[in-house]
Chains A and B, each alone.
Chain A
Amino acid sequence: MSTLSAEARIALAIARKDAVAELRGRHATVSTLFFAAVVLLLFGFALGPDAARLAEAAPGLLWLAVVFAGILAVNRLHLLETDDGALEQLALYPVPRRAIYAGKALAGFGVMLLLGLVVLGAVAVLFAVDIGGAWLPLLVTVVLGSAGVAAVGTFYAGVTVRLRAREVMLPLLMLPVLAPLLLGAVKATAAALAGDPFGELGAWLQLLVGFDVIMIIAGAATYGYLLEDG
């Protein structure tokens, strides 16, 4: 128990450090929020002015914007560690690797959650979707979806952070893995907005929980190898 609390303290310190750096430098949030807004607008233009069509497509557009912007966000959060050898220094601290992963993933989750909530609000306004009646299942979906993107993104940002072509490699690696999450989150959002007429919401949320648990365990178990340079 004391080991777990020590690791939690380390993870929180890493997440807090990232949060402070983010609040001051705004490396991840501002650019990704603008990116998400632009993606939503472009999807809106592409689908045309048909309000019913836009509302029907809203769950898919919401999660595509969150996933695309999330890739940017986790990449930006890891770039903090490239400041003057910070990643190597982080790897040399005598702390469990899974605590480092947990800290970085927690920071990513914070940014993703903010992103998810803002994009959800933007979708409601831009595509005239009423989210008031389904706010709780939508909130749960955004929390689970954000956790999944952060868990996967933290791992793959660790894979690509030292690569020159990381901006290209990160989406190439992340998007196929995120396909089940995208499916589950879109279906859960659509079910929640429709009032869950077929009682499928629970199953999609369970899929998201399962995805998150698997990705968090896999990331925590393997992230340490990524920190060592060969």
Chain B
Amino acid sequence: MPQTTIYVSPRSLGAPDTRPPAVATTDLARLFAGSPALAGVSLRVDGGRTVALLGPNGAGKTTLLRLLATAIRPSYGQASVDGLDLARDPALVRERVAYLSHATGLYDDLTGRENLRFAATMLRTPDPEARVERALADVGLGARAADRVRDFSAGMRKRLALGRILLGCASLVLLDEPYAALDREGMSLVDQLLVAWRGVGVTVIVASHSTERFESLLDGRVTLERGLVREASGTGVMSTPPSLPGGAALPVAEAAR
């Protein structure tokens, strides 16, 4: 991979001691059909940290990421990104957050290049043509950029979705199982991106079943179980017990969404 350039909006950053926490949640809960997938998470992640979000299937990892990305609204509790409340300022939060989910959000009938050009317009990327070509090269898809995404493998789709993140200037990057479906080179690409994001002070939260692959890149780790924080450890990560009535006793949805 060529030397990746990560663009971060200056307004998102500041001196570490004056910067609000990258993520702060208080009793954050989300119900699906009456059952909590997230049952009251109070968590603080400092800016510029790389944090693993761990836990078994259905623990609430994806739900927490989707809440922070503003893809879904909380049922209870509060959350903020860079000091901006998710419920009050979702539009401002979206400018600061990039989210890679299980689904890649790509259009099958567009080519790889067209998908990124569309994303560049939506992200109001400056100098979009050059940035799109740069992102395609960074994720190793320069040679396949003119092919329709319909013909891409799952790993290529994931690479292209990572390229889309490079077009923005997020201060918080949320990655849901980023290594899934990637070959060795693709995994190495994720490693390099994690290093690059850390280098420019971008906060990264990586949901994963295991940290074996990126242990050395982590500042902290948060383990979820049945919608609650079981353990938070490391630098720049702090969690307090839930204060929701019933808290841990709430039934947790079998499959967190």
Q: What residues of chain A have their CB less than 8 Å away from a CB belonging to chain B?
A: 6, 9-10, 13, 17, 20-21, 24-25, 80, 83-86, 88-96, 228-230
Q: Provided the pairs A85-B103, A88-B71 are in contact, do residues A95 and B122 lie with their beta carbons within 8 angstroms? A: yes
Which chain B residue has the least Cβ–Cβ distance from A16? Answer: B118
Q: B137 to nearest A CB, angstroms?
A: 22
Chain A residues with CB under 8 A of B124? 6, 94
Query: Does A88 contact B101, Cβ atoms closer than 8 Å?
Result: yes
Query: Does B94 contact A228, Cβ atoms closer than 8 Å?
Result: no
Chain B residues with CB under 8 A of A80? 107, 109
Output the residue of A84, A90, A91 with the most chain B CB within 10 A.
A84
The total of interchain contacts (Cβ-Cβ below 8 angstroms) comes to: 80
Dominant secondary structure of chain B at its interface with chain A: loop
Q: Which of B69, B73, B109 contacts A24 (CB 8 A)?
A: B109
Chain A residues with CB under 8 A of B118? 13, 17
Q: Which of A84, A90, A93, A229 contacts B108 (CB 8 A)?
A: A84
Q: How far is the CA of A49 from the CA of B167 in the complex (A)?
A: 61
Which chain B residue has the least Cβ–Cβ distance from A80? Answer: B107
Query: Does B73 contact A20, Cβ atoms closer than 8 Å?
Result: no
Output the residue of A21, A25, A83 with the most chain B CB within 10 A.
A83
Chain B residues with CB under 8 A of A92? 69-71, 94, 97, 99, 105
Output the residue of B71, B105, B114 with the most chain A CB within 10 A.
B105
User: Is B200 interfacial (CB-CB < 8 Å)?
Assistant: no
User: Is B104 interfacial (CB-CB < 8 Å)?
Assistant: yes
Q: How far is the CA of A90 from the CA of B95 in the complex (A)?
A: 13
Q: Provided the pairs A85-B101, A85-B104 are in contact, do residues A13 and B121 lie with their beta carbons within 8 angstroms? A: yes
Q: How far is the CA of A85 from the CA of B115 in the complex (A)?
A: 14
Query: Does B95 contact A20, Cβ atoms closer than 8 Å?
Result: no
Q: Which of A10, A17, A91, A228 contacts B110 (CB 8 A)?
A: A17
Query: Does B94 contact A83, Cβ atoms closer than 8 Å?
Result: no
Chain A residues with CB under 8 A of B122? 10, 13, 90, 93-95
Q: Provided the pairs A84-B157, A85-B103, A94-B123 are in contact, do residues A228 and B72 lie with their beta carbons within 8 angstroms? A: yes
Query: Does B105 contact A84, Cβ atoms closer than 8 Å?
Result: yes
Chain B residues with CB under 8 A of A83? 106-108
10 smallest beta-carbon distances between A and B, as pairs: A85-B103, A89-B105, A21-B109, A93-B122, A94-B94, A13-B121, A94-B95, A25-B109, A24-B109, A85-B105
Q: A228-B70, A228-B72, A228-B73 are in contact. List 16 more A-B contacts (CB 8 A).
A: A10-B121, A13-B122, A80-B109, A84-B104, A84-B106, A84-B157, A86-B105, A86-B106, A88-B101, A88-B105, A91-B71, A92-B71, A92-B97, A93-B123, A230-B72, A230-B73
Chain A residues with CB under 8 A of B72? 228-230
Q: Which of A24, A94, A229 contacts B71 (CB 8 A)?
A: A229
Q: B11 to nearest A CB, angstroms?
A: 13
Chain A residues with CB under 8 A of B102? 85
Question: 1/0 per position for B83-126, CB-CB distance to A under 8 A?
Answer: 00000000100110101011111111110001000110111100
Query: Does A21 contact B91, Cβ atoms closer than 8 Å?
Result: no
Chain B residues with CB under 8 A of A6? 124
Chain A residues with CB under 8 A of B144? none
Query: Does B71 contact A17, Cβ atoms closer than 8 Å?
Result: no
Q: How far is the CA of A9 from the CA of B108 in the complex (A)?
A: 22
Q: B173 to nearest A CB, angstroms?
A: 13
Q: How far is the CA of A11 from the CA of B134 in the complex (A)?
A: 25
Chain A residues with CB under 8 A of B148? 24
Q: Which of B70, B97, B101, B107 contacts A17 (CB 8 A)?
A: B107
Which chain A residue has the least Cβ–Cβ distance from B97? Answer: A92
- Some 21 contacts from A to B, beta carbons below 8 A apart, are A13-B121, A17-B107, A24-B148, A80-B107, A80-B109, A83-B108, A84-B103, A84-B104, A84-B108, A85-B101, A85-B103, A85-B104, A86-B103, A90-B105, A90-B122, A92-B69, A92-B70, A94-B122, A94-B123, A228-B72, A229-B72
Q: How far is the CA of A94 from the CA of B172 in the complex (A)?
A: 14
